[in-house]
Amino acid sequence: MLESRKREIRVKAEEFRNNCKVSKYGIINLFEECNRKNYKLIRYPLGENGDMGFVLKRDDDIVIFTNSAVRMSREIFTLAHEIGHVVLHFGKENSFIDNQHTLFGTSETVAEQEANFFAANLLMPKDEVLKFYDLEFQETENKKLSAIDITRIMSEFKVSFEVVLNRLEDLGIIDENEKIRLNNEKNISRVGNMLKATGGDRRLNEASMEVALPFEYLNYTISNYNRGAIPRDTLMRTLAYYNFCFEDISDKVVEPTDKELDLEELIGGLEG
């Protein structure tokens, strides 16, 4: 990636971040920031091996989906990545689907690399990371970081242990050997135990299994039920989420006769 393009992405990430509610260093709740931006955010547990997320433009709405069956730290990074697609790429393309490879692998697609770079700068901007490193750790002879220190950083910036290591390496704070050492420490001590020991946010290391649907999704569900795209059970589960019963929407329903699909296919079908 050209340095000029990196600078452009850093500027756009900072512009977005400046409109977010931030704690001492990190964004407090990126999910709430999407709601404040009027993005239509869908969170649903598709399973650990399911797609991590997608973003698309539907009419005048920006719809973002994240898989809540993965660790919350990964779900947050997925959300930041999808926001990157919106900020950087919408107009040229209006939909992106992301999996483990595009988010955490070595994707050679320029748009995916740019979205990852945006996410890193949105969640862990260089100045804030360096300030945290300078002010929050005790002065030692060589200021050598421990795995416990990494969990403190991940808790502040709402990211995973792996994302912290990658970001610190990118910024020249640690080298490859330090990264290997810290990963080994992590494997011995376990992230959950270290978060507990430091009073960190243990939710970051767990899947939330959150189901969050914008109200407009109810209309999508009814429409898909009417054309036979989903079963009645899916419709009833969606109604229960909104505390509705079938009688509340019976005047909008036409009983379907075609082949039924499941909720995963419904979510995927939003792109259409």
- Asked whether residue 210 is assigned to any structural domain, the reply reads no
CB 76 within 8 A of CB 30: yes
The CATH number given to whatever domain includes residue 88 is 1.10.10.2910
Which distant-in-sequence residues (6+ apart) come within 8 Å of 164 by Cβ? 124, 150, 153, 154, 157
pLDDT in tens, 74-129: 999 999 999 999 999 998 888 888 887 777 766 778 999 999 999 999 999 999 99
**Is a pLDDT exceeding 80 seen at residue 265?**
no
Residue 65 gets the label, from left (phi > 0), alpha (psi -120 to 50) or beta, of: beta
Q: In terms of domains, do 130 and 173 share one?
A: yes
Domain hosting residue 41, numbered range: 3-123
Which residue type sits at 202? Answer: R
Other CB atoms within 10 A of residue 94 CB: 15
Q: Which residues pair with 61 in a beta bridge?
A: 58
Mapped onto helix, strand or coil, the DSSP state of residue 123 is helix
pLDDT in tens, 115-164: 999 999 999 999 999 999 999 987 655 668 999 999 999 999 999 999 99
Say how far apart CA 132 and CA 125 lie, in whole Å.
11
Q: In terms of domains, do 12 and 106 share one?
A: yes
Beta strand 53-58 pairing with 61-67: antiparallel
For the sheet with 40-44, list strands across it: 40-44, 61-67, 53-58, 95-98
Q: In terms of domains, do 31 and 104 share one?
A: yes
Q: In terms of domains, do 107 and 197 share one?
A: no
